[in-house]
Amino acid sequence: MAFIECNMRSSGMEIETSVWVTLPQNRVQGILYLLHDNGKNHTYFNRNISLESLCDKYQVAAVVPDMDVSCCLDLCYGDAYYTFLRDELPDMMEQYFGISRQERTRVAGVGTGGYGAFHLACDEKSNVTSAASISGIMDIRNYLQRQETMKIRRNYEAALIGNKNREEWDLVSLVENNSGLMNKKLIQYVREDELIDENRTFYEYIKTLGIYAELVTCSVKQKDQYIESVLEEFLQK
């Protein structure tokens, strides 16, 4: 196996950004994009779970980009993190590691990364076949409005949502406008915490649209064990 921290130049953002790539020992038979929560970075998964063991066992390449505190969105004024994730990163994986866009592509994320995983899966331009949200944010505006102070809330909302069309950031709108979702899997892993209600509401709605969806309630309390166990379950699907 190999794990490599890469500093890659994003032509779209015109900055260097970090990406952690973990490769299996044998031939790559799929790619797994992992998206961290706000407040974490691209090293989170490798530091906290046995990612290299999962990559070897399921013969996937795990790719963890640094999404900073973008909630996996393009900033209204600033760096286009989401566009980098959707468009540039798959090309970089093919160019530098020989991992074709034709390989089975899955995405999973924690917290705001869970929101980003579903956003990517719901985008008609992405080639993601299945997505896992782990204690994910389903209502990004509600998440922004829960920030500590009014100033932070206003700044965050102006930076991430601003005057964008709803279809650019709202998961429900994205789902409603993507007919290709019938061929994808959306899986929500949650614990009995403050996020379970919004996850259940989203799940019940997308089921009415005929989309393949699962809502899995987990009892594991230790966060890192929880994340590792649900990633393994997701890779088995």
Question: What is the CATH number that goes with domain 2-236?
Answer: 3.40.50.1820
Q: What amino acid is encoded at 24 in this protein? A: P
Q: What is the pLDDT of residue 194?
A: 87
pLDDT tens track for 177-195: 887 888 899 999 999 888 9
Contact between 158 and 102 under an 8 Å Cβ cutoff? The reply is: no
- Tell me the average pLDDT across 1-7: 83
Contact between 23 and 55 under an 8 Å Cβ cutoff? The reply is: yes
pLDDT tens track for 24-66: 999 999 999 999 999 899 999 999 999 999 999 999 999 999 9
Tokens encoding 70: 């973008």
Q: Is the pLDDT of residue 235 over 90?
A: yes
For residue 222, name the pLDDT band (cuts at 50, 70, 90): confident
Contact between 76 and 54 under an 8 Å Cβ cutoff? The reply is: no
Q: What is the pLDDT of residue 137?
A: 97
- Return the ∠ at Cα 121 (arms to 116 and 124), rounded to 5°: 120
Distance CA 30, CA 106 (A): 8
List of residues 6+ apart from 237 with CB closer than 8 A: 130, 185, 187
Q: What is the pLDDT of residue 200?
A: 97
Q: What is the pLDDT of residue 65?
A: 97
Contact between 9 and 82 under an 8 Å Cβ cutoff? The reply is: no
Tokens encoding 37: 């929560």
40: left (phi over 0), alpha (psi -120 to 50) or beta: beta
pLDDT tens track for 191-208: 988 899 999 999 999 999
Q: What is the pLDDT of residue 91?
A: 94
List of residues 6+ apart from 144 with CB closer than 8 A: 153, 156, 157, 160, 161
List of residues 6+ apart from 209 with CB closer than 8 A: 175, 176, 181
122: left (phi over 0), alpha (psi -120 to 50) or beta: alpha
pLDDT tens track for 117-167: 999 999 989 999 999 999 999 999 999 888 766 666 678 888 899 889 998
Distance CA 197, CA 172 (A): 15
Q: What amino acid is encoded at 120 in this protein? A: L
| β 105-110/61-65 pair status | unpaired
Query: Where are the domains positioned within the chain?
Result: 2-236
Tokens encoding 124: 């008609």
Q: Is the pLDDT of residue 80 over 90?
A: yes
Q: Is the pLDDT of residue 76 over 70?
A: yes
Q: Is the pLDDT of residue 114 over 80?
A: yes
